[in-house]
Structure 1
Amino acid sequence: MGESSKTSGENGEKITEELLKLIGWSNLIKGLSVPCNNKTHARENTHGNDFVFIYNNPLHDNRTDVIYVSSKNAKNGYPKGEKGVKTEFKKHLSELDEIVSCSKISPEISHKLKTFQGRSQKKHIGLLVWLHGDRGSLDRDIKPYLNNIQLDLSSNYPLYLIDMSRASFIKEAISHFRGIKQGKEYHFYYPKLGNVIASADERYGELLPIELIASDLIPIRFMLGEKPSLCLYAKQSFSEDTLKKLCSLAFDFADGWVEDIFIGLESYHPADDLQEKDSVLMAYQERKANIKVFCYKESILDLLEY
């Protein structure tokens, strides 16, 4: 039982590491232990960080993010019922909360930050990557169970979740784009998001910041011939209303610099949904942009788009 648990944990860390590499999180700090300085924590002496990632957040002018990644892997899938999911989630997030609270004031992290030479503002953030190995429910989305959950945490820093559903979306979207671009250069695009402070950095780069990981969108900037183009992957199914919102969002993101916009959805039928798609796109005829809609989940129907 112990050996099986160890193997499951190692598998989870391996998948987590490869997933983070897909979004440009390289140079990960692995297996960093820090002293526990709070007697109320359920630890004896130390907290173990599966991964720590430090980067200058491109969405903020003066912020360096320190992300503490906790990898969990349930060999037989998530708990079956809502209550079980909530209980296990609270346990994992409470553990992550303790890790961040001790890590952020540890000599080990202080040393890493000095070596990194980041920006003046430091943001400490927890990321729970909660995976499982049950093939029958690989894409199960547990977030609806967690909408109204009360965590009773007193942390002053945000905690994020990547579950199997979001992890699958990230892998599918990036793998799909890499497949169709066949090795050509691309960058993640950094839109202006709500009240997020505008950054003087380039609006695109090689890593996906934490705010975009937590969203259901992955915006990618790439060159089509001599012109920059935008590909917007969305973890949503096709509907006229969804497409209208995504088109408006793409134009806001593009900010006038793009003529070719590609919108990828997890479900879009190029025959059955054609009329609805064309009806939506007619509203944007006066905009100088070519909009193409596609499904990033591969099937034989993809040949209709060639």
Structure 2
Amino acid sequence: MAGEKSKNSGEFGEKIISNFLQLIGWSSLEEGITIDCVHEQHNRKSESHGIDGYYGYKSELLKQHTQEDILISVKHTTNEYPSSPTSLFKGFLKDISEGMECFPYDSKYVDRKIPQNIQERKTFGVIFWISQASDDTRDIIADVSNFNNTDKIDYGPVYLVDNNKLNFMLRSIRYAQKTYDDYQFEYHFTGFNHTNPAESRECGKILPVQLINTNILPIRAQQDGKDYLAVFLNENFSEDSLKRSLGFTKMLAKAWPAQTFVLYPDYNHLYGKNTVQRVKKNFQDEDFTSKVVVGSYNENIASLGRN
């Protein structure tokens, strides 16, 4: 009975993540793959690593002609997150990191190279740790971010997505879908990309893995033939937050958006409008600030009172 419940929970979790990945453009996902284990020190009972999902795409944030190979692990539970999650998380992390270590030596590695003049490949891991019993805004990342690597394992780049991050991404994307005719994820300048305008893209339908657990999501939206910048924040509205957010937004906006929206989960125009005006005065570029509108991506009664 317990085994059947665990199986159902796992399948339900994989369905949740599969639908979410469709929202962020990670289509044509390979599910339930195995990777040949080539390292004896992994001490595995089987000769392979089981991976819940694989997705590969051409990077728009790293160097041009780089392919990013994403190995996905789904951990879904009907229980609440543990009060001391570090030990359990380290097990998840070790498991996917060993799969990442063996991935370049897998027999199907070459077959997964995409036909887009790829010159370099980088492997990343994503762990989706989702709890049905915990609040949708529960942040488990803060509880595990400072663990001691006593085993001295080179974990590589692995991103953890918990209830909090998944809920933020879902609400932001749903808002964009409902509000605008179309939208794309903004590919901000990193110092590695945008070196060749003929080959690089400033936005697209595929969310870069580097933004999979972000607290600030920039989206380029289209409405009635005009381009807009919408910046979603996974933090409560405050004066300090808005100052930081407008600095980042100004770097992105330049001259192209007809209007820029900075969107919080809790902004209330009645209580926040004077704070917005004070913060705008810190920026000398009035052409930029005059186009900035602060609002909320969570619809409620107060949201009806905004401009």
Relative to the length of structure 2, the TM-score reads: 0.91
Partner of 1:97: 97
Which residue of 2 is the match for residue 48 of structure 1? 50
Per the alignment, residue 77 of structure 2 pairs with: 74
Percent identity of the aligned residues? 28
- Give the letter for the 2:135 counterpart: S
1:273 alignment partner, SS class: helix
Paired residues for 1:79-90 under 5 Å: 79=82, 81=83, 84-90=84-90
- Does structure 2 conserve the Cα–Cα contact (< 8 Å) formed by 1:56 and 1:118? no
Matched, 1:110 2:114: no
Is the 8 Å Cα contact of residues 36 and 43 (structure 1) preserved in structure 2?
A: no
Cα deviation, 1:271-295, whole Å, max 9, x if unaligned, reads: 1122112221233474313111111
Aligned partner letter, 2:47: N
Cα 1:284–1:25 shift into 2, 3 Å: same
Deviation digits for residues 80-109 of structure 1 (CA, Å, limit 9, x no counterpart): x2xx31011101111111111122210122
Calculate the aligned-residue CA RMSD, in Å: 1.8
CA distance in 2, matches of 1:239, 1:10: 40
**Structure 1 contact 59–199 (Cα < 8 Å) conserved:** no
Q: Which residue does 1:216 correspond to in 2?
A: 215
Q: 1:35 corresponds to which residue?
A: 36
Do residues 19 (structure 1) and 20 (structure 2) align? yes
Q: Distance in 1 between matches of 2:165 and 2:192?
A: 23
Of residues 183, 187, 210, the one that matches 1:186 is: 183
The 1:199–1:219 alpha-carbon spacing in structure 2 relative to 1, beyond 3 Å, is farther
1:112 aligned partner, one-letter code: R
Hey, what does 2:6 align to over in structure 1? Answer: 5
Aligned counterpart, 1:177: 176
Q: Are residue 287 (structure 1) and residue 290 (structure 2) matched?
A: no
Give the count of matched residue pairs: 298
Give, in angstroms, the shift of residue 252 of structure 1.
Answer: 0.3
- Which residue identity is paired with 2:105? I
Is the 2:9–2:78 contact (alpha carbons within 8 Å) kept by the matching residues of 1?
yes
One-letter amino acid matched to 2:188: P
- What corresponds to 2:270 in structure 1? 271
Asked whether the equivalents of residues 268 and 295 of structure 1 are also in contact (C-alpha less than 8 Å), the reply is yes
Name the SS of the counterpart of 2:7 in structure 1. helix
Deviation at 1:6, TM superposition (A): 0.5
How far apart are residue 118 of structure 1 and its match? 5.3
- Is the contact made by 1:189 and 1:205 (CA closer than 8 Å) also made in structure 2? yes
Distance 1:227 1:284 in 2: 25
1:198 aligns with 2:190: no
Q: Distance in 2 between matches of 1:174 and 1:185?
A: 11
Aligned twin of 1:65: 68
- Indicate the residue corresponding to 2:153 in structure 1: 154
Q: Which amino acid aligns with 1:78?
A: Y
CA-to-aligned-CA distance 1:88-145 (integer Å, 9 cap, x gap): 11011111111111222101222222x64551110011111111111x4222101221
Amino acid at match of 2:28: N
Q: CA deviation at 1:48?
A: 1.2
Which shifted more, 239-248 or 143-152? 143-152
Structure 1 CA distance for aligned equivalents of residues 128 and 6 of structure 2: 17
Gaps of 5+ in 1: none
Secondary structure of 1:107's partner? coil
Give the letter aligned to residue 47 of structure 1: H
Pairwise CA distance, 1:243: 0.5
SS of the aligned residue for 2:99 comes to helix
Q: Secondary structure at the match of 2:257?
A: coil
CA distance in 2: counterparts of 1:94 and 1:199, whole angstroms: 36
Quote how far apart the aligned CAs of 1:226 are.
Answer: 4.0
Q: Aligned partner of 1:50: which letter?
A: D
State the Cα distance separating 1:40 from its structure 2 match: 2.8
Q: Which amino acid in 2 is paired with 1:93?
A: L
Distance 1:279 1:19 in 2: 38
Cα distance in 2 between the residues matched to 1:170 and 1:68? 19
Q: Which amino acid in 2 is paired with 1:231?
A: A
